[in-house]
Amino acid sequence: MARRTNYHRVSFSLTLLLLTVSGCQAQDAPQDHSCTLSGAGEFVKPFGTDGKNFNDGWGFQGAGGFAVTPDHGARLFLIVDFMYDRLDATAAALAGAQATPVVKTQLAPATAAHGDFTAVTLDPTVRIPATVRTSFYLSGGFGWLRRGVDFNSANPATLTQSAGFTLDRLATRSGALDFGGGVNFGLTHKGGLMLFAEARVYHGLAVNRGTTLLPISVGLRW
């Protein structure tokens, strides 16, 4: 049931990204349009408390939005960003969880654990043209962060064709701040499709204040 709920949240977030760009039309600018969509894979490095709990990992991100200023020099966009990352827990963090008296019996069989991090943020973004094909951008905003942890064990039931099963699943949700920047490079003279690279920081608030993630992304943007 929890896994199905997570799928619903991801589907809702992706739908939200698409709704932000519905009904927009392209402009005549060499690279930028009035609306934008992007997708990328990312390498993720955790910091803070979770820098000790998890190893580096991988994920993906998508974004969509629209321009709120005319195409004259620097341009302001309003962007909805979606991020999902998965990181394996360190051996020390797993051992520490298993030693906790309250959950010691339940987690004793665990052979591995991983964290999955999902964020949806609203990010005002300023794009600054450098050349006909190249622009730089800075962005930052606020949104929602879910931090989930799954504890897994080897599965002796080989008929299930599964590498393991979940012993326990925990999740915390809170607000989050994010900021970052990157570079766009147009792939055609006519504009439109761009290659981009960016670095961004996500920092959880309240119950997730120990979570700070640095995703470094490379992907395509329109």
pTM listed for this prediction: 0.79
Please tell me the least confidently modeled range out of 10-24, 44-58, 117-131, 147-161. 10-24
Owning domain of residue 127: 2-17+34-221
Establish if 29 belongs to a structural domain.
no
Establish if 198 belongs to a structural domain.
yes
Establish if 23 belongs to a structural domain.
no
Q: Compute, in degrees rounded to 10, the torsion defined by CA atoms 61, 62, 68, 70.
A: 100
Q: Which CATH number does the domain housing residue 210 bear? A: 2.40.160.20
Establish if 24 belongs to a structural domain.
no
Establish if 22 belongs to a structural domain.
no
Residue 1 class from Cβ within 10 Å (0-12 exposed, 13-18 middle, 19+ buried)? exposed
Q: What are the pLDDT digits (tens) for 61-99?
A: 999 999 998 877 899 999 999 999 999 999 888 887 777
Q: Which residue has the higher pLDDT, 43 or 93?
A: 43
Q: Concatenate the DSSP letters of all residues of 153-211 into one string.
A: EE---GGG--SEEEEEEEEEEEEEEEEEEEEEEESSTT---EEEEEEEEEEE-GGGTT-
Establish if 139 belongs to a structural domain.
yes
Q: Which residue has the higher pLDDT, 13 or 140?
A: 140
Establish if 65 belongs to a structural domain.
yes
Number of domains in the chain: 1
134 pLDDT more than 50: yes
